Structure 1
């Protein structure tokens, strides 16, 4: 009798196409869910009959209370090698093995620049006006060459964003709590004296930090107030790094020129969420990791994780 595997949040219905599941087909029956289960009750009901679950990113929490409601669950595969919403101790106590997958840094770098450029040149507003027969030319673009790009975080993704900024002729600065001058020099950017200095002096600010107790709420009302009225903020990392109410207030009151956001406090975003109607906001539905190559890696390695588990040698263990 084959084990049952659930693939969560397969919105585009591509999980079966971007990876070769034949390696486990004789032992596993795969069911893909395109709809998102927004509550623990919905999730527990949907997954009650499954032995294996594949979940994307950190969208679906797996707290201790959920593991107790899924006694049949034996393997949980999460995309990426870091996941803050899975209670790994509870999983271990429940006898659930948790594995991860690798991911590429290219897709979020590309989306960061898509949002930044879209904001700088008013792409969405001008495209909509052109298609709808509106006024010809409404916006005055913000230049990149010679302007300062401030990066909060200079890790794997932030460093690649920095190099693109340098190619545009931007002055690039960076800050994070443990960033050293040696690493900043290696990437070719300036080490900002402080977070406050970076925010106050930058024309574009982009966030590339992992969510932790240290970074949660890193940009609150006081920090956002430091931004220039002409500045743009881009967040493709985690919503909780920025105080969402403070960001909405800054956008509504015109205290910053605009924001590009790919991450939200609730995902998928409810139809009545204020982020859907906020002015000066260019928003995408968490597309940073959504690319064919990334999906091929995620689902391909999910199949590898499942096969390794079934063969008695689990790989890419989390926790």
Structure 2
């Protein structure tokens, strides 16, 4: 039986022990460590399977050059960086790994929520640079979380995990997710909101957990942020372009938002002149103390990273051996 060639397009640049443990008896595994789609040219065309992370995108142009590909697996939850339609036209299934970082991302969403709503980040930053009195009054008024609405956009596996954690804090958990089957809300004790604008009007915290699609791009924009009560909070651990990040500084300065926890941005790393980045780095701007930015890190734990690699490699193995595929997204 001839050996297959499997390429890991980006992100991974080590010895690939996990992948080789799973695939080594049937395939040669090669890490391309690409930082742009152009880096793939001449190196990916003969691959029997492609493992893709989040540093680059694979567009129609690259898909058209895949001559022997049995699977593109996006080793993560989001899959907006691969042209699924073009792949389907070529008969190439695209799969994702929807369950590798469920706990980590949900924990991060709640961690950001607590750091913001309890004034933890605000007070730490102020005291660290000797701004203001050594007193809780710097962050007054704070309100109790119990009974406040934790609004979730997208009740998938991560959204559900975040919902259960917010419930444990005593929050009133509401969600917007039109395709979600009726009854799931009753099973976990949360409530559905039929209109997205209503979710913003009700929510003390809005936490984004939906994939990036044409429908969800900028699903959180300046208009919808404006529907929230003054002193509300925004958390995004999903995909960067689901939130109009440039609208956040004005919302912070006006008091509409009391804080924002942003783990993902449309471009990573973001350009130095991005309005949110500029405001966040300016000690004279309210965003400096009221915005938390992380470098797309919510997914990360050592266990989660290994899960992502193992599950991605297992998906490739099933494809190469002609076994039924899981989590096909095209």
Question: Does the alignment reach a TM-score above 0.5?
Answer: yes
Query: What RMSD over aligned residues (CA atoms) do the two structures have, in Å?
Result: 3.4
1:88 and 2:89 are equivalent in the alignment? no
Task: Describe the SS at the equivalent of 1:53.
Answer: strand
With structure 2 as the length reference, what TM-score do the two structures score? 0.77
For the residues of structure 2 that align with 1:234 and 1:15, how far apart are their CA atoms? 35
With structure 1 as the length reference, what TM-score do the two structures score? 0.80
Task: Describe the SS at the equivalent of 1:150.
Answer: strand
Say if 1:15 and 1:32, in contact at 8 Å, map to a contact too: no
Say if 2:78 and 2:211, in contact at 8 Å, map to a contact too: no
Say if 1:54 and 1:78, in contact at 8 Å, map to a contact too: yes
Question: Following superposition, which runs of at least 4 residues in structure 1 exceed 6 angstroms of deviation?
Answer: none
For the residues of structure 2 that align with 1:67 and 1:213, how far apart are their CA atoms? 20
Say if 1:36 and 1:268, in contact at 8 Å, map to a contact too: no
For the residues of structure 1 that align with 2:322 and 2:92, how far apart are their CA atoms? 14
Show structure 2 runs of 5+ residues with no match: 280-286
* Aligned match of 1:204: 205
Q: How does 1:174-185 map to 2 (within 5 A)?
A: 174-178=175-179, 182-185=183-186
Q: How does 1:9-158 map to 2 (within 5 A)?
A: 9-10=10-11, 16=16, 19=18, 21-25=20-24, 27-31=27-31, 33=33, 36-37=35-36, 40-44=37-41, 47=44, 52-56=49-53, 60-69=56-65, 75-80=71-76, 83-92=79-88, 94=90, 96=92, 98-104=94-100, 105-131=102-128, 136-137=134-135, 138-140=138-140, 141-158=142-159
Say if 2:150 and 2:166, in contact at 8 Å, map to a contact too: yes
For the residues of structure 2 that align with 1:123 and 1:46, how far apart are their CA atoms? 48
Say if 1:5 and 1:28, in contact at 8 Å, map to a contact too: yes
For the residues of structure 2 that align with 1:275 and 1:46, how far apart are their CA atoms? 37
For the residues of structure 2 that align with 1:53 and 1:98, how far apart are their CA atoms? 10
The count of corresponding residues between Structure 1 and Structure 2 is: 313
Change in 2 beyond 3 A, CA 1:4/1:239? same
Deviation at 1:130, TM superposition (A): 4.8
Q: Deviations over 1:31-55 (max 9, x none)?
A: 262x632xx3344367568664321
Deviates more, 1:219-228 or 1:112-121: 219-228
